[in-house]
Every structure is written in C-alpha cells, then in structure tokens.
Amino acid sequence: MIDFKEVDRQIESTLNSSLSELGRLCAQPSIAAQGVGLTECAGLVAEMLARRAFSVQILPTAGSPVVFAVRKGRRDRTLLFYNHYDVQPPEPLELWITPPFQPDIREGKMFARGVSDDKGHLECRLAALDALLAVEGELPCNVKFLVEGEEEIGSIHLPEFVAGNAGMLSAEACIWEFGGVDHTGVPIQYAGLRGICYVELNVTTGSLDAHSGLGGSIFPNAAWRLTWALASLKGPDERILLPGFYDRIQAPSDRDLELLAGLPDVAEDYRKTYGLTGFIKGLSDELDLKREEIFSPTCTICGLTAGYQGAGSKTVLPATASAKVDFRLIPDQRPEEVLTQLRAHLDRNGFTDVQITLLGAEPPGRTDPDDPFLRMVADTAQEVYGVPQLIAPMSGGSGPNHAFIQELGVPIATAGISYPGARVHAPNENIVLDNFVAGVRHTARIVNGFAEG
Amino acid sequence: MIDFKEVDRQIESTLNSSLSELGRLCAQPSIAAQGVGLTECAGLVAEMLARRAFSVQILPTAGSPVVFAVRKGRRDRTLLFYNHYDVQPPEPLELWITPPFQPDIREGKMFARGVSDDKGHLECRLAALDALLAVEGELPCNVKFLVEGEEEIGSIHLPEFVAGNAGMLSAEACIWEFGGVDHTGVPIQYAGLRGICYVELNVTTGSLDAHSGLGGSIFPNAAWRLTWALASLKGPDERILLPGFYDRIQAPSDRDLELLAGLPDVAEDYRKTYGLTGFIKGLSDELDLKREEIFSPTCTICGLTAGYQGAGSKTVLPATASAKVDFRLIPDQRPEEVLTQLRAHLDRNGFTDVQITLLGAEPPGRTDPDDPFLRMVADTAQEVYGVPQLIAPMSGGSGPNHAFIQELGVPIATAGISYPGARVHAPNENIVLDNFVAGVRHTARIVNGFAEG
C-alpha cells in the first residue's frame, strides 16, 4: 500500500520546481493555427519526458509531430495519457494583463497562453509521476504519453496516427487531456465528447463587387445566395433539415438521464454569464435544458462575412460571401456522412453554387459512465476533493477521442486542473495553483488505482 | 447670337488655369463619412464662387454647411446647378498610384479623389461660365449654385434645407451633379434617379459570444436570427415579401420602353466587367434586362457581419450579427413607407429582436424625358459630341433629386465630364482631360440654350 500522505508531501515540496518547469513550457509559443514554435515545443516536451527516463520518440505526421513516450512500471498494465502541446492563438494581445508567453504567477494563479489548455495538464501528469517515483522508486504500472500538436486545429492527422500505431499505443485505459472542477469547486468528469463537422461555405457570384444601384435588380448577389442556402439548413424551429441527419441518433439512456439529473442547474448561470434572456426551443425545465445541451446535435453559424462591414452605409453588391458552420454530432452520427448529406441537400435545393470546405471532422465518442476505470477515477477524486465527483454522460465539446475508443478499445476518463474561470482560448488564460495541486494529487491516485485495478 | 467658336477657344486657352484651380480644390480633403476637411472645403468653394462675382453664403445645416451662390445675368431666367464638395473616403490608400489628395496629371488624365465625383463637375460649371463671361461680359441668365457637403453620406440634411429655402433656390431648371459619356464615348443623360432606403439590421442575443460546443443546442444565435430574418425579406425568386412593397410601383410607359430600346446593349459588357455567368430572374433578353435594371425596385444585402471571419475554424456562437441592406425604390415608392413595412414585416414574422437603423433615405424622382429643357441639353450635346445623346429614362442610382422636383418644381438634366472608367468611389479616380473640355463646352451651350429658351 502506497503512503499517499508521503506522496502529497512530496507533491507540495516539489511544487515550485513543477511550476517553474510549467513556466518554461508555457514560455515556448506553439500556436498550431499559425504554425509557430511547434517543433521547438515538441522537442521541449520530449526532453521533459526523457528526463524522467521515458523512452521518447518524436514522430512525424503530415502536420505537427507527435511525441510518444513509454516507461515500464511494476505491474504490466498500461495507462495512456493523451495531451497536446499546441495552444490557441494569443490574440487579442492587448487584452492580456501580462504577455501570453511570459508566464506570471499572481494572486494564487499562474497566467499564460496554454497554462490550462493543455500544458498545465501535461505538467500535472509529470508532477504526479515524479511524486510516485520519489516515494516508491518506480511507477506502479506502465505509462505511455501521446502528446500531439494539432488539437487546437481539430487534431487533423491524429486519427490516422492512432490507427496506424495502435500496437505501439496499446493500453488498458486512457486519461484525457482535460478535467477539473465546476463553478462550485466540485470535481466533474465527462464520459464522452460530441463529434464535429466544421465547414466553410463560400459563394462567388462574380469577379468584382458592383454598385448596388447598378446591379441590384439584375446581378446575382453572393450574400443573398449564402443567406438562402443557410436558411435551407435550419429554420427558426431549430430542426436541421438535411435528410437523414437524425437517422443515427441514439436517445440518452435512463442512466444518462439519471447522471444529468445529478448535475448542477445551469440556467441561471448561463443567463448571467452570457446575458441571455432565454433559451431556444422553449426550453425552461432544467433537465430538458441539460439533456438538450448534450444529447442534441447542432448546426451553428459561427461566422458570416460579406460586402461592406464598416460604419455607415456603402451601396455595394457583394460578389463573394462566406459562412463558418459547425455541426455538433452525437452517437452514432459521422462527420463524413453529414458532409455528404450537406452537399446533397444544397444541390437538391438549387445551391450548387455554394462551395463547401471541410475545416474539421471528429466523430462523437463515448465511454460507459459506469466503466470500472471511470468509477475508480471518481472514487479517487472524492478522496482528494472531499466530495463525490459529478459525472456528465458526455461533454458538449469535441475532440479526437473516437479514434482512441475505436482503435485502442480503451475507456477514457477526464481528470485535471481546470476550472470554469480558466479562460481557455481567451486572453488571461490561467490556472489556480490550489487546483493544480489537487489535480496532481488526483492523478497520482489514478495511476496507483489503475495499477491495482 | 453668341459665338461658340470664340467660347470654345476661350475654354481651350484657359484650360490650364481651370485644371490648376481644380487641382487646388482636390488637394483639400473633404471626406463626409469621416468628417474631414468639410468646412475648409466649403470655404474654398465659396472663395471660388466669390472670385466670379457671385453673392455667396455659407449656410449651416445640422451636418456639413451648404454653399449657396447667385449671380444675375442678362435674361431673368434662373438656372440652378446642384453639386457637392464632399468626397468618398480614399481608402484603400495602398491601391492609389499617386496619393488621393495630391492631384496628378498623366496620360491625358487627372487623378485625385473627387476629381470626377464631384469637384471636376463643379469646376466644369465654373469654366463654362468663365468662358461665357470672357466672350460676352455677362452671364446670359441668372445662375445659382447649391453645393452641399453630404452627398456621399446620403444628403441627410439636404431635403430639409431645400424645403426650407425654396424661395432662395427658386429656378426654372436644374443641372444635376453628374453626367458624361458611356463606354463608347456617346453622351448620355438620365431623366431621374431611383430612391433608396438603406438600413442596418442588428441582432443581439446575448452579452458574450459562447463556445459552440456549449451553447449550440440551447442558446439563441444572433447569426441564425439574422439569416432567418433576411430570408423572410426575399426568396430565391427575388420577389420582395414586404406586404404593400409593390403597391405604388408605376410601370414604365411606352416612351420609357422606347428610350430603353435606344440604349446600347449591356449584357456582354456586364458579363465581362463583373465576371458574371448570368443574370437573375432568368433575364436574357436585352430589353428585359435594361427594363429590369432600372424599373424594378430592389432589396440588396450590401454586407454581412457575425462571429469569426478569419482563416480556418473557430467554434464560436455569435451574440451579435448585422447586415447592411438597401432597397432601391422606383416611383412612387417612399423610403419612410418601406421602413414602416419592414418593421411591420419583421414583427409579424417573429423578428422583434431585429433592430433597424436607418442609414439613408431618398425618394425616387423623375423628370419627363421629353421636357424641353432635357431636349435642349440633348441637342447641345449633339453639337459638342457630334452624335445624338442617349436618354435613359432613369438611373439605377439614387440622389436627393426628389426634393428639388417637389419643392422647386424644376426639370433636372444631367450633363458633365465623367465616363465609365472614372473609378468614382474607388482608388485612382480620374477624369479624361478631353472629356473635361467637352463637358465645359456642353455646359456653356446649356447655359446659353437655357437663357434663350
């Protein structure tokens, strides 16, 4: 039996060196969307793992390299950590209180781009292993790391990498890249992710914008074509109109609904945070709201661009227009099917002039929320946080978990250091140092619990 | 009988001083949309008129001042020139070969912001009067100038000014601010302008953009609300769906259709210039196209803005979205009625959340194309250009002519120095010096012809 008092003391005593290692990692820009600093950051991650006597490989993909590392432990069971070393662009820079790539500790928090998403989580895993190694002299089980560099741009090449390296990556369970506590400080985990199909729709009706007084009555208008094409996808009743779109949808199980009922109410928090006066589809009941939030697929306009967008008026007839649209998918929808349905629907409705560019595709993926591994993660969370962990049957967000579930057959649990105020993807991204310590303590117990399982 | 050979010699001999006066006027920025240099430019215009012994007033409005000037002539008939001293913004600056406010003469052209629209036209009127004065010692009739400073932002305060100063402005005829030749060098005039109702539509569904994975299934989305509201205004059949919108429409008369038939074909030119593969509403017949271009009201999306518009994907659910929309109106539609119809239509269709901001409103206005004044303008054009002038029964564009027609009861003719390559509102705006001379010669003949009429 490992002495967790000793492990926790070890975590506390090495906290400063963990944070300074995290600081060095965050000081290295690694912006996938802009192609900045990715190989440098992969090298830094490899170095951090090699320092812990992991066998490390930096493996090329068609995009950013993947860092893979493995170290044997006492028991021949393998736990896989999935993390990513790339970060979101830091813009708008002027809203950062301290520069995004100059990590700063103040008021019990550490601020930097990527400090929560996802470099802090990687450091959390390493700090937990450091403590176990310091106390026990060896890892309790085999540990593998897969650290990719394209998570923030849709993990474009990861599914292929996972499929092509299933043997190397084989494991009995996987800890996902994020996790933490809800807005009341209660730990929460997510037993799955919705899928996504993200497209850009482009319409070009001419080579040159025209004066609206000239062409308004006789020229095709790209902005109108786009508007009509979009309106054909979904009406004000929110029903998505692609034929076949709902065919593969799985209704939530009784257990899913039970888990949802156990989650805290969200309506009031959302109303306040986002300044909403109400929700769509006439939603008001809390359980309906929570079910709809997760177990309903979406078609969201993320952006619109056409013609004149400045102050005042300009009488222009746009020759080009574009929209960003994401579909969130639930089991067993498939992004490639949605893409096919979208093309067919547009063509059938006369919108052959609307071009589709696929910008991201991830199928949904779920783990049984009652899987013994997820239960162990919940039990060890309770030891650390002192309250029962909440389990959401799925997250509304997306990620490349489907490839891991399908190719490696692993249950996937989430655990980590984040909290709703972390401002991931936004200026002044941060972690609370106390959350970091709790996440490290939890991770150490997960590794040990897994080894004993 | 005035000796026009002598007048034309005079115009030629003073061309350099006319162009250098025009250069000084163009060197003075006067950007209505940006509030730059307007009073300075009004002062410069007043000076130019005072130098010709006009009685000049600079009159305040709620916006830019109006310059009004009058000089008596031999016969007690009054011709009113309407011009404007404001110009479009010069942006994008990097596309100008020479700086927009440093007029440059090269290759038989003069380049500057406003050199065609509309400072060159003002200089054209003055150069014509200079020549008449030099030859005759007096003006053949009374001449008034109304030079406003808000034409490029919809002449917001001009109709009120005209209505409030109808006595001062009284005249028997009016020469509008633009005119010139078509792409084959044939002079053309326009016997009217369509009206306009330009609005911005804004939707706000929350105080903060949300992550599309979070809010996609339950939050209202401003971009969707805007899309649906727009789609309710007009469908792919191009029929505008505001109840009552078409009620006041006057069909073109047989004479209008005859005039249209006399205009050059446009389809091939438009296809090439604007890179079009075809026209809307199945239009292919040339006469149909020309009729539709002018005698059909429009609803044009001039711009769309919402959410993320950069490269690649960002999973954001926009809390705000907006569109610029212009309605071009034909007799007897009224912008204030269209605005009321728009509000009522949106409300009736559940879009009470769509805010409307009026950015410009001008009723349509027409002069009988067979009015003797317009005929005289056409006849004198033939003397100068050597070919019969074309008469378009109306222009597809808009302007504040309705106030002049209604309040002053004047016929309005167009005449001037422009051509289709003038790049008005765009970088490298220019006039062809030969067109300038022709426009001055034509204007001198118009003033004389009017005095004799």
B291 to chain A, closest Cα gap in Å: 10
Measured between beta carbons, which residues in chain A are less than 8 angstroms from residue B196?
213, 315
- Contact indicator for A59, A65 with CB cutoff of 8 Å: yes
- Chain-centroid distance of CA B269 in Å reads 21
Which pLDDT value is given to residue A313?
85
Query: pLDDT by residue (tens digit) across A200-234?
Result: 999 999 998 888 888 899 999 999 999 999 999 99
Of the candidates B274, B283, B350, which has its C-beta nearest A206's C-beta? B274
Q: Which amino acid is at B437?
A: V
Contact A183, A420 (CB under 8 A): yes
Q: How is domain A4-191+367-452 classified at the architecture level of CATH?
A: 3-Layer(aba) Sandwich (3.40)
List of residues 6+ apart from B5 with CB closer than 8 A: none
The second-level CATH assignment, the architecture, of B4-193+365-452 is 3-Layer(aba) Sandwich (3.40)
The CA-atom distances, in angstroms, between A160 and each of A62, A366, A403, A445, B408 are: 10, 19, 8, 32, 76
A 10 A CB-CB count for A447 gives 25
Nearest CA in chain B to A290: B218
Residues 348-407 of A with CB under 8 A from B: 350, 359-360, 395-398
Give residue A17's pLDDT.
98
The residue with tokens 């039970």 is A258
Residue type, B40: E
Question: What does the pLDDT look like over A434-451, one tens digit per residue?
Answer: 999 999 999 999 999 999
Both tokens assigned to B353: 């959340």
| Residue A103 pLDDT | 98
How far is it, in rounded angstroms, from Cα B418 to Cα A392? Answer: 69
Give the other-Cβ count within 10 Å of B207's Cβ: 12
Question: pLDDT tens, B31-55?
Answer: 998 899 999 999 999 999 999 999 9
Confidence of residue B111 (pLDDT cuts 50, 70, 90): very high
Average pLDDT over residues A255-259: 97
CATH number of this structure's domain A194-249+297-362, picked from the four choices 3.30.70.360, 1.10.1740.10, 1.10.275.10, 3.40.50.150: 3.30.70.360
pLDDT value of residue A351: 98
| Structure tokens, B131 | 């020549």
Residue A22 has pLDDT above 90, yes or no: yes
Q: What is the pTM of this model?
A: 0.92
Q: Does B453 touch chain A (CB under 8 A)?
A: no
CB contacts, 8 Å: A308 with chain B: 302-303, 324
Q: Is A317 part of the contact surface with chain B (CB cutoff 8 Å)?
A: yes
Nearest chain A Cα distance for residue B239, angstroms: 11
Report the amino acid identity of residue B131.
A
- In chain B, where the domains are located: 4-193+365-452, 195-249+297-362
B195-249+297-362 has the same fold as B4-193+365-452: no
| Whole-number percent of chain A with pLDDT over 90 | 90
- Other beta carbons within 10 angstroms of residue B243's beta carbon come to 10
- In this prediction, residue B1 has a pLDDT band, given cuts at 50, 70 and 90, of confident
> Stretch A118-147: mean pLDDT, rounded?
98
Helix, strand or coil, per DSSP, at residue A297: coil
List pLDDT tens digits, range B246-272. Answer: 999 999 999 999 999 999 998 998 999
pLDDT at A425: 85
The top-level CATH class assigned to B195-249+297-362 is alpha beta
Report residue B222: phi and psi, to 5°.
-60, -35
Class of residue B312 by CB neighbours under 10 A (exposed 0-12, middle 13-18, buried 19+): middle
AA letter at A174: C
At B268-313, the pLDDT tens digits run 989 998 999 999 999 999 999 999 999 999 999 999 999 999 888 8
- Average of per-residue pLDDT across A415-427: 92
Residue B433 reports pLDDT greater than 90: yes
Tell me the C-alpha distance between A143 and A54, whole Å. Answer: 9
At a CB cut-off of 8 Å and minimum separation 6, what does A101 contact?
A: A26, A27, A28, A29, A90, A112, A113
Q: Mean of the per-residue pLDDT values for chain A? A: 96
Q: Does this complex have an ipTM over 0.85?
A: yes
Q: What is the pLDDT of residue B312?
A: 86
**CA distance linking residue A180 with residue A418, whole number of Å:** 5
Q: How far is CA B145 from CA A87, A308, B433, in A?
A: 63, 33, 24
**Residue A186 above 90 pLDDT?**
yes
Residue-wise pLDDT for B79-101, tens only, equals 999 999 999 989 888 889 999 99
Which of B280, B305, B312 is nearest residue A153 as measured by Cβ atoms? B312
pLDDT digits (tens, 9 = 90+) for A369-378: 999 999 999 9
pLDDT(B122) > 90: yes
